[in-house]
Amino acid sequence: MKFKAFAFIALAAVCLSVQSQAQDSLMLRKMFDEALVNGQCYENLRYLCKKIGPRLSGSAGAQKSVEWSKKLMEGYGFDQVYLQEVMVPHWVRGVKEQGIIVNGKSRVPVALAALGGSVATPANGITAQVIELQSLKDLETLGEAKIKGKIVFFNRPFDERFIETGSAYGTAGDQRNSGPGAASKYGAAAVIVRSLTSAIDDYPHTGGTNYGTNKPIPAAAISTVAANRLSDMLKQKKGEPVKFFLKTNCQTLPDVLSYNVIGEIKGSENNNKYITVGGHLDSWDLAEGAHDDGTGVMQSAEVLRIFKALGYRPKNNIRAVFFMNEENGHKGGIVYAEKAKQNKEEHIAALETDEGGFTPRGFSFTTSSRTFIKNINQQWKKLLEPYETDRLVSGGGGTDIGPLREQFPDITLIGFRPDSQRYFDIHHTPNDVFENVNKRELELGAAAIASLIYLIDQHGLNF
Ligand SMILES: [Zn+2]
């Protein structure tokens, strides 16, 4: 008898699970259909890029984008749409920067862009001898005697062996992130950095730099074409040393009041549990911030829109968050996590989409469970396979959702992982424009994210 009862319960469980899988698979199909047939994220992105444009924290563009995003989400009829106050840094580039290689009598202008947070050179610019380094460690090896008064040129290229280009960006990034501060310690006059990209072209890639407690010195990124040229000149040089003329006009103004923009669909069962899906609304000043990260915020709003369009009432509260100030301060993410804690909310998962609006491949996860990746693949991979978004790997998250884990140690952080091969060709350059976003790729990404959020909402993440 006992065995029979057990067999019956087991059979019932299998039937239930088969039924639930069938329901899930039907729902995922509907979500992809909705995104691909009635999708709105592409046209929303067009507006954000073409009518608003660059949105660096503290700028008029950023403020405009906040107001427009709020209206957009209100128009979708989400249960709640509101602004969350965030004080943000206000750095301005000023008049376009200038860089010239001075090699004996020849003067070669180069494409460059001041790094976010950089200070200005004196009004007449700086001209100094260039010293090329491959790493921050070289500073230590050479010491102050060889570096003082010179312009340090960090020229370590992307490591092309990485399959996912985010890893190459990560390992080359210290040159831009902390190179200027480190060089300042040794008395460097300024820093120029090879742009963080595999592409060999004439677009400079800006990005933030952090001096830490070191004295700020002028810092700029030069295009990879310019970096190769300068490096060649340094190698061939005999006699008088190669110099560089740098003029930057940037400054940091007082902090400005800005906002995260939040849209929410209320949960039907768990009124204090939250799942966040977000990207960042701010962008660098040089371009439209299409892939970085207009696509991410527009996908986040699209997830909630898809739920509403299909009449799906989630069990948990689902939030789309347009974070402010990811690029040069991360203040939006920090405030969001602090407020969540203060309000005693329970955050079970957060997903960030900030790696471009390219073809979705899957998701990465940061959790405390060691069996998570194995089990999630067993349970959900099959459901995602038809959409080619089934790569479920460990190590996910993002800058804006990272602070949530400090406040909620049990939260699962998720990174949306699209194809990464073209992202760093345009990242932080004047070429990050709407025209470089593909409609279907963007919509497939939104549907993939909606699918995963739906599965989490239905079944939780106890893997
Ligand atoms: Zn970004």
Residues sharing a CB contact under 8 Å with residue 451, sequence separation 6 or more, in sequence order: 28, 31, 32, 383, 384, 387, 389
Q: Which amino acid is at 234?
A: L
Distance 291 CA to ligand 1 centre (A): 8
Q: In this structure, what are the phi and psi dihedrals at residue 128, rounded to the nearest 5 degrees? A: -155, 160
Rg (CA), the chain: 24
Distance 300 CA to ligand 1 centre (A): 14
Distance 113 CA to ligand 1 centre (A): 18
Distance 354 CA to ligand 1 centre (A): 5
Question: pLDDT under 70 in the chain at which residues?
Answer: 1-16
Give Cα 369 to chain centroid, integer Å.
25
pLDDT at 103: 93
Distance 427 CA to ligand 1 centre (A): 8
Number of Cβ within a 10 Å radius of residue 435: 11
Q: By the 8 A CB rule, do 232 and 54 touch?
A: no
Rounded alpha-carbon distances, angstroms, from residue 163 to 143, 160, 421: 35, 8, 8
| Torsion, CA 259, CA 260, CA 261, CA 263, rounded to 10 | -140
pLDDT at 16: 63
pLDDT tens by residue, 69-96 = 999 999 999 999 999 999 999 999 999 9
pLDDT at 239: 82
Q: Hey, is 347 helix, strand or coil?
A: strand
Distance 345 CA to ligand 1 centre (A): 26
Q: In this structure, what are the phi and psi dihedrals at residue 59, rounded to the nearest 5 degrees? A: -85, 165
pLDDT at 18: 75
pLDDT at 17: 75
pLDDT at 248: 98
CB contact burial 376-393 (16+ within 10 A = b; e otherwise): bbebbeebbeebebbebb
pLDDT at 279: 98
pLDDT at 7: 64
Q: By the 8 A CB rule, do 326 and 101 touch?
A: no
Distance 10 CA to ligand 1 centre (A): 47
Distance 261 CA to ligand 1 centre (A): 16
Instruction: Residue 428: name the closest of 354, 335, 340 by CA.
Output: 354
Distance 326 CA to ligand 1 centre (A): 7
Distance 450 CA to ligand 1 centre (A): 20
Distance 201 CA to ligand 1 centre (A): 21
pLDDT at 2: 56
Distance 4 CA to ligand 1 centre (A): 57
Distance 253 CA to ligand 1 centre (A): 22
pLDDT at 15: 61
